[in-house]
Structure 1
Amino acid sequence: MTRDVLVAGETLIDFLPETPGKLDEIAAFGRRAGGAPANVAVALATLDLPPLFWTRVGDDPFGDFLVRTLAEYGVPDEFVERDASAKTTLAFVTHDEDADRSFSFYRDGTADTRMQSGTVPDAVLDDAEWVHVGGVALADEPSRSANLDLTERAAEADCTVSFDPNARPELWGSDTEFETVAGWAVEETDVLKATPEELRALGADGDDPEALARSACDLGPHTVLLTLGGDGALAVATDDAPWAGVARHGGYPVDPVDTTGAGDAFTAGAIAAFVDGEPLEEALAFANAVAVTTTTAKGAMTALPDRDEVRRIRER
């Protein structure tokens, strides 16, 4: 089946805290589906652009829940794999008083670290317009090689390749390892979505966000989408991009409940807008509207908007 978009990477369980605070002080957590690429895939499906999604979960009760959740959101299951020999990854999330979050992963040898090269056939990439990959899958072998191979083959197939480094220091042996391995993916990337901290970790530099994004363009991508939290987002695209230029958007006002997955919602919004042929400014505004909506409830997928809701946000 021909699809506009293929997303690849982890699907996991987010355990969200009932109250803000440190991990050792929280008494109760609620289970939610998560994983940055899974969040992107579900957000795209909610925006009427259901992607093919290559992921791997355990053949266990948590995997059952995740597979069922993906199906409920309309994500095709052609490349949703089950691993009979590995568990599903767990991530415990903590929030501060401003709803900003941090993660503690249980991911030693879990299913999403065991993705295998060649799972997605070349014929699928020949039919895809866009391929999106996340950085967490690059932290461990064999998923590292499998996802790097996917980005290389996608680039050869003339897909637009997007990459979210999604830096999680505890998953990497060192900052140098992250910069090196994620840098390999960036070399094959057309559209890089990141935070300022992630761009610096990848070797970019600059005294302000625009200079930092321009520096990141020198690493390989023709477009850098820089998320700036409460200050919105910035996009810088070189003359090699179909939407060359610079765009800024200050975001939309919101009282956040949980920022988990907001960056992934932003990524999905940007991809959907670009696939629709929208210019850079429109894509940034659309992506911010998708992102802000998902912060209004606990969980990365709970409050994902459809296109009507995005339109209402933008008209307020």
Structure 2
Amino acid sequence: MDVIAGIAKNRFVVVGRVGMDLFPAPGEAVETADQFTADMGGSSANIAAGIVKLGGQAALVTRVSDDAVGRFCVNKLRHYGVDTTYVTPAGGEARNSLALYESRVQGHQSVIYRNGAADFEMTVEDVEAVDYSQFGALVTAGTVFAADPSRSAAFRAFELARAAGLPIIFDVDYRPYSWPSAQVAADVLSRAGALSDVIIGNDDEFGFMAGGKDKGLAKARDLATTSAAIVVYKMGELGAITFNEGQEIRTGIYPVTALKPTGAGDSFMAGMLSGIAAGADLKTAVLRGSACAAIVVAKPGCAPAMPFPDDLTKFLAAHDGPTHPA
């Protein structure tokens, strides 16, 4: 399978959640705010929006609540240009994810409501309804595996994507609050990682899968040797190490004054994939992802903060960098 050729088609089927984000004005705490901005959130939806804003195509596969909040999420997906063909309402008491977070770093608080989450209602039938031949690659994030029936559906999507010749791109995206236990999470995320062609995670996430942060780098290196074509091991302000075809590519970051810590990973994924799709070499594509992450943490919101090509061009022209990698 030619992973780069699949990504180069710049048409992605993205499996996972969309939610509602609420955030007060920059610097303000949730508990003292009386006005909030509402927009779209959820890691998979953010990735899809980021890809489209950078010129690609993306369709989201998920379930939303059959209520006003679910319809808000669908409307926002359409606003960002994400294909909603495979977004299905879930009946009953299922509810969309809701995230309240602050645009501040000092004392930052995020409150996530995931009880009875609608996206966990995604079924095998939902993913079997997708025409995978219309896409170049499948993208997902780890939360989709945290509960059934979504977990079984996501693994089935992997099978169907593989059968259609699509590379599988996996953001580990470990969120402890979504999982029944750390042991289940480690087992399932490791299984998903072993089936993936491109794996992106931070040092904590690889360490978690390996049974200790000190073992995370070896885990990333092993995945690149045994199963994955590309593995990106992110280390925050220390940059990243990308493993590909026996090479270890070290890259730095673009320092900015962060307004918040949220949304960086989703924007990194969108920027890196868009870079590869545009024909950039892997190092340049990873740096493009780092620049997109820097742009998002310096602005309020997640999906609305994702850059357009002009935003990225201006940012790269205006910023020294990247930093020297660790």
- The verdict on a shared fold, with TM-score over 0.5 as the criterion, is yes
| Alpha-carbon distance in 2 for matches of 1:140, 1:294 | 29
Alignment partner for residue 89 of structure 1, among 83, 97, 105?
Answer: 97
Greater helix proportion: 2
- AA aligned opposite 2:260: D
Q: CA offsets per residue over residues 199-242 of structure 1, 9 Å max, x none?
A: 01111767598545314435732211122222332211235xxx
| Alpha-carbon distance in 1 for matches of 2:110, 2:227 | 29
Query: Superposition pairs for residues 83-232 of structure 1, below 5 Å?
Result: 83-85=90-92, 86-93=94-101, 97-98=105-106, 103-121=110-128, 124-203=131-210, 211=218, 213-217=220-224, 220-232=227-239
Q: Secondary structure at the residue paired with 1:119?
A: helix
Q: Secondary structure at the residue paired with 1:105?
A: strand
| Alpha-carbon distance in 1 for matches of 2:204, 2:27 | 24
Q: Secondary structure at the residue paired with 2:100?
A: strand
- AA aligned opposite 2:285: A
Q: Which 5+ residue runs of structure 2 have no aligned equivalent?
A: 1-8, 319-326
Name the TM-score, length of structure 2 as normaliser: 0.85
- AA aligned opposite 1:152: E
Alignment partner for residue 237 of structure 1, among 230, 233, 244?
Answer: 244
Larger relative CO (CA 8 A, sep 6+): 1 or 2?
2
Q: CA RMSD in A?
A: 2.6
Change (3 A) 1:32 1:297: same
Query: Would you say the 8 A contact 1:134–1:164 is kept in 2?
Result: yes
Query: Superposition pairs for residues 71-82 of structure 1, below 5 Å?
Result: 71-82=78-89
| Alpha-carbon distance in 2 for matches of 1:124, 1:178 | 29
Q: CA offsets per residue over residues 84-132 of structure 1, 9 Å max, x none?
A: 3222122233576348x56433222221110011323477223321100
| Alpha-carbon distance in 2 for matches of 1:17, 1:220 | 43
**Structure 2 residue 61 is the aligned partner of structure 1 residue 54:** yes
What residue number does 2:267 align with? 265
Query: Would you say the 8 A contact 1:56–1:111 is kept in 2?
Result: yes
User: What percent of counterpart residues are identical?
Assistant: 28
Moved more, 86-95 or 274-283: 86-95
Name the TM-score, length of structure 1 as normaliser: 0.87
Query: Would you say the 8 A contact 1:199–1:216 is kept in 2?
Result: no
